[in-house]
A and B are shown apart, each in its own frame.
Chain A
Amino acid sequence: MRSILPILAVVSAIVLLWYGAAVSMNSKWAQDQAKRADVELSFSELVADTWSQERPRLPAPHQVVSELWKSTGEMALKGRAFSKRSLIFHGWITLSATMLGFVIGTGAGILLAVGIVHYRVMDMSVMPWAIASQTIPILAIAPMIIVVLNSIGVQGLVPKAIISAYLSFFPVVVGMVKGLRSPSMDQLDLLRTYSAGVNATFWKLRLPSSMPYLFTSLKIGMAASLVGAIVGELPTGAIRGLGARMLTGSYYGQTIQIWSALFAAAILAAVLVGIIGLIERSTLKRMGMSQ
């Protein structure tokens, strides 16, 4: 808890910097407008103007927050939480693709990790490729997957989920292999003296001791899934989802809309990773593994 004060200090420094940057980046437009209207702006007028433009180069924090509130809370209060102008709707579209992809990707990743730990052939042939794939910008395949699946008639949720799935797949494989191998030789030997089979060793030793690694890779996988879903919404001219909000915002110069979509994505990521963190804490506590 003693780090709350420093964190607050850092966050408020960032907000201050942001307000300052908003003044300097938007002042040119404000000056031009003033010149056209033949008025001289005093400094306080200039600052007020740069913080309240309609299409600023950099919107001030309160503009982003009020736009966020307008497109989420206010719409929900009016009972229109799922109208097309609401970020809850767009967030839900992105979230559903993220979750589907996350479940597929981590599920397949865990299965492959189990296979790799138990079969030498799989270990030696697949593992180097799984590690190498971490250095490859696989996100580049995203537009191709969308278009190819579109051409064979698959649209909407599934292509985005596939992108999310393969982005979360490899980190989970690598993390889980490490986790399932984490029992020490002593522990494995002990189970052998109990004449425990492969099955019993897996359920009673390997799987429980891989839990910390599992949660770490789940967090990475979740963040990667969200990025995948957002990028998956970019190339098709999609009209729904947080990525689409950013894209249409950048087409029409609606900077406040881009920033609010970006913040919605950030909040979504933070909440999702936070939920996994909570599950992690309570699980590890009940298993007696937390420090």
Chain B
Amino acid sequence: MKLVIAVIKPFKLDEVRDALTRIGVHGMTVTEVKGYGRQKGHMEIYRGAEYAVNFLPKLRVECAVASEQLDQVMEAVAAAAKTGQIGDGKIFVMPVEQAMRIRTGETNVDAL
């Protein structure tokens, strides 16, 4: 099993969700986060006071998937989250040792 962590532009969430649902990924966890990469930040001006906003709002989408489904999932997320503009985000993949559905006690791939 793998944990896919995608940091995406907030307005792309619905498209990413639809793309994942379409390939059979049911369930994800979404967190509002702030960060920066190559996009860096931008300047905001309030009555002449200029502030560099270094951390931009993003969404961090996490979903655990079966290892054999990983490539398909990454493609789906990348296709849905892409605008071609700087700041589209990144996808990270980590191994998952175990999983359990609390309600039924199912484990690992059955629990996803």
- A and B are partners in one complex rather than unrelated chains: no
